[in-house]
Amino acid sequence: MILTLYGVLVFISLVLIVLGLVRPNESAQALVGFFLLFLLGVIIINGNLEYETGAVINTTYTYSGDSVSETSQSVINTYNYFDDTTSHQVGYYLSIGSAIGFIGVLYGLRTGGMNK
């Protein structure tokens, strides 16, 4: 998953969590937000988060006699994976925290604490 898309999904999950916790009647939004945040933490743990490192430019030239002309050019973006220990720790903390939040919302629904 590309880092920019990952950031957008984290923002969406945080918005869902805040909206679900602020409005007690919409606690399903908080559950969805915590679940999405858990999945995003698992993506970091598995090492599937990529960031753009540059681009490879492929150019094709045509030679005819003494003239050279460019026939096509393509740009391919290159990506590297986050594979250091710190990113895996962030993934663990994100997954554990979102699981605790999910369980907390479920407990609040069960005890009726979200409707007070």
Whole-structure pTM value: 0.71
Position 33 in a domain: yes
Digit-coded pLDDT (tens) for 25-83? 888 899 999 999 999 989 888 887 888 888 888 888 888 877 788 778 888 888 888 77
Averaged pLDDT for residues 8-33? 88
**Residue 104 lies inside a defined structural domain of this protein:** yes
- Which residues have a Cβ under 8 Å from the Cβ of 102 and sit 6 or more positions away? 31, 34, 35, 38
In a domain, 57, yes or no: no
Instruction: Tell me, yes or no, whether 20 lies in a domain.
Output: yes
pLDDT band at 90 (very low <50, low <70, confident <90, very high): confident
Query: Which helix (DSSP H) or strand (DSSP E) does residue 32 occupy?
Result: helix 27-46
28 assigned to some structural domain: yes
Q: Is residue 65 part of a domain?
A: no
Give the structural domain span for 20. Answer: 3-49+82-115
**Structural domain count, the chain:** 1
Residue 13's pLDDT band, with cuts at 50, 70 and 90, is very high
Comparing C-alpha atoms, which of 42, 35, 40, 39 is closest to residue 16? 35
Only one residue has tokens 């005890």, namely 111
Angle between helices 85-111 and 3-22 (to 10 degrees): 20
Q: What DSSP designation does 116 have?
A: -
Cβ-Cβ contacts under 8 Å for 86 (sequence gap 6 or more): none
In the numeric block, which tokens belong to residue 65?
A: 């006699």
Instruction: Tell me if 20 sits within 8 A of 33, measured CB to CB.
Output: yes
- Joined tokens for residue 43: 């993506």
